[in-house]
Amino acid sequence: MAAGVAAWLPFARAAAIGWMPVANCPMPLAPADKNKRQDELIVLNVSGRRFQTWRTTLERYPDTLLGSTEKEFFFNEDTKEYFFDRDPEVFRCVLNFYRTGKLHYPRYECISAYDDELAFYGILPEIIGDCCYEEYKDRKRENAERLMDDNDSENNQESMPSLSFRQTMWRAFENPHTSTLALVFYYVTGFFIAVSVITNVVETVPCGTVPGSKELPCGERYSVAFFCLDTACVMIFTVEYLLRLFAAPSRYRFIRSVMSIIDVVAIMPYYIGLVMTNNEDVSGAFVTLRVFRVFRIFKFSRHSQGLRILGYTLKSCASELGFLLFSLTMAIIIFATVMFYAEKGSSASKFTSIPASFWYTIVTMTTLGYGDMVPKTIAGKIFGSICSLSGVLVIALPVPVIVSNFSRIYHQNQRADKRRAQKKARLARIRVAKTGSSNAYLHSKRNGLLNEALELMGTPEEEHMGKATSLIESQHHHLLHCLEKTTNHEFIDEQMFEQNCMESSMQNYPSTRSPSLSSHPGLTTTCCSRRSKKTTHLPNSNLPATRLRSMQELSTIHIQGSEQPSLTTSRSSLNLKADDGLRPNCKTSQITTAIISIPTPPALTPEGESRPAPASPGPNTNIPSIASNVVKVSAL
């Protein structure tokens, strides 16, 4: 119910007293007013700005967020108000909707932000009032066009391997840049369209004389040659049309489209001419059908973006053009009539009838002024000058509208092209930011270990030296940590990965380790064999690869210098010079790696489990273990 009507309901009900004496049967019972609440003011706090309204105002529309019990989810017990973490500007419009029953769309607001807010409050955009609905729809259409452009170009760039032959053909037709074959086809059809048009033009040029007859146009002199050319072009066009028809995803829609009609109209005259050559009477009329061959020039609109823009502009300015035409026609008729009657008196005047005067009027109003018809009487000259002045005015009026339309559409196209060009750069930047977040995890792992190393060293003031991560970040990192534990693999960054693979490819060669060489560029398939108990060499890199082992959360760190290792479960720490071996404390152990610094003397720890003694100095061991804890319930 609209806002106003609800307020008048008590009045209407009271006025029903007037029916009581007249009624024959007893009246039904009135609905009881359960939990009759006093109408109370409720406070809506939207990002700090407080709005107040009556509860009943909001309850007018019970299928929205504010009108239903859904708002209880946003009730703040402490301050006894409803808190929404949304835009207060748009909320103003939303609340006005409850108050007045009309939803307005503010012009300065971004269309998608506004849509999001409406979706949040559960309000359908359809109920935007008439005053603002046009604007809303226009902006929405613009936005949708932009999104469609983006999606189109996205789809074009994706490689879709599973396209059927028909679909590839259609894509080739629509976007000639997808494959060389499509490009060839595109240029060939363009060439033949040009040939066909030029043929039509040259056909009519007078081409020298055959002795004994008058000058002939080229078409008749070399009629066979021209006929062959025409046949060839029409063949190509027919084949192209049939191929497009075959490849179109929706044949029905394709047949109904403009380009298909142009194609058909372009080749029809030829076939009709073929059929009609026998019948002499009718053929004369159908020769004039040849004029339709000029439609072939419109086939160029597939090849030229500018032509399409022009066509679209004219179509969108159809009403302005119509107005121009109509007003011109009115003016022509008026002035032609006047001129006719003015010049009626003069002898040998060319203004023989009103239609004859049309020509004069048109030529004068468009300021052409051929001079084949001129008024001779004074009245005629006066009216003639008025005619030319008004002609200038009438034509000048709708032209700026058409021009502005063209400019808008043209710039839209420019913007679309520019956006497509910028898209790649934008996506690259977004990707960089994304890798930043994944690097944050690796970074925090190192920092976390550093923190614990310092903790154990017993320097309380340096405990908090590490970068403080927010609670959310640390929880996220914990989640990733759990995933690592589940799969027994560890996240590392790209460079480490490639280094590892290069290094492990080197381990197949008996030559000594040379960490800096990369004689085998690229990754080999024998990367980092997980099961092997061979020793692998890791370079003394500055990039740490941490290994977390403990079953409990941040447990103690096993720091090794050159002293005896302690037997607690440990974590290999980075920047420490010595290598360390790790002793699994529990049955389920994980992969261990460690960074070895090559120059240091082997300070290996004797390990309990079966680990091969390292043969060469400064190796480290890499013993994966198979048993792992599989069941990890992770909430979301």
Specify the residue, 24 or 552, whose C-beta has the smaller distance to another protein.
Answer: 552
Specify the residue, 175 or 390, whose C-beta has the smaller distance to another protein.
Answer: 175
Specify the residue, 79 or 257, whose C-beta has the smaller distance to another protein.
Answer: 257
Minimum separation from the CB atom of position 480 to another protein (A):
7
Minimum separation from the CB atom of position 122 to another protein (A):
5
**128, β-bridge pairs:** 103
* Cα(376)–Cα(350) distance, integer angstroms: 10
Q: Are 584 and 569 in contact (CB under 8 A)?
A: yes
Task: Look up residue 65 and give its amino acid.
Answer: L
What tokens were used for 536? 């692998």
* Cα(52)–Cα(21) distance, integer angstroms: 44
Q: Are 56 and 94 in contact (CB under 8 A)?
A: no
Minimum separation from the CB atom of position 137 to another protein (A):
8
Main-chain phi, psi angles of 536, to 5 degrees: -120, 155
Q: Are 581 and 605 in contact (CB under 8 A)?
A: yes
Minimum separation from the CB atom of position 73 to another protein (A):
4
Specify the residue, 67 or 380, whose C-beta has the smaller distance to another protein.
Answer: 67
216 SS3 class: strand
Minimum separation from the CB atom of position 193 to another protein (A):
19
Render 180-214 in DSSP notation, one character per residue.
HHHHHHHHHHHHHHHHHHHHHHHHTSEEEE-TTS-
Minimum separation from the CB atom of position 380 to another protein (A):
26
CA 26 to each of CA 22, 358, 570: distance values in angstroms, whole numbers, following the listed order: 11, 81, 89
Specify the residue, 535 or 622, whose C-beta has the smaller distance to another protein.
Answer: 622
Minimum separation from the CB atom of position 544 to another protein (A):
11
Specify the residue, 135 or 484, whose C-beta has the smaller distance to another protein.
Answer: 484
* Cα(76)–Cα(83) distance, integer angstroms: 6
Minimum separation from the CB atom of position 207 to another protein (A):
21
Specify the residue, 54 or 120, whose C-beta has the smaller distance to another protein.
Answer: 120
Query: Parallel, antiparallel, or unpaired for β 49-54 and 41-46?
Result: antiparallel
Minimum separation from the CB atom of position 462 to another protein (A):
29
Give residues with Cβ within 8 angstroms of 331, minimum separation 6: 361, 365, 390, 391, 394
Minimum separation from the CB atom of position 15 to another protein (A):
36
Closest to 93 (Cα-Cα) out of 54, 66, 68, 69: 66
Specify the residue, 139 or 342, whose C-beta has the smaller distance to another protein.
Answer: 139
The label of the residue with tokens 């004859």 reads 356
Specify the residue, 311 or 608, whose C-beta has the smaller distance to another protein.
Answer: 311
CA 602 to each of CA 357, 507, 513, 543, 578: distance values in angstroms, whole numbers, following the listed order: 113, 19, 16, 21, 8
- According to DSSP, residue 524 is labeled -
Specify the residue, 149 or 343, whose C-beta has the smaller distance to another protein.
Answer: 149
Closest to 510 (Cα-Cα) out of 539, 534, 541, 530: 534
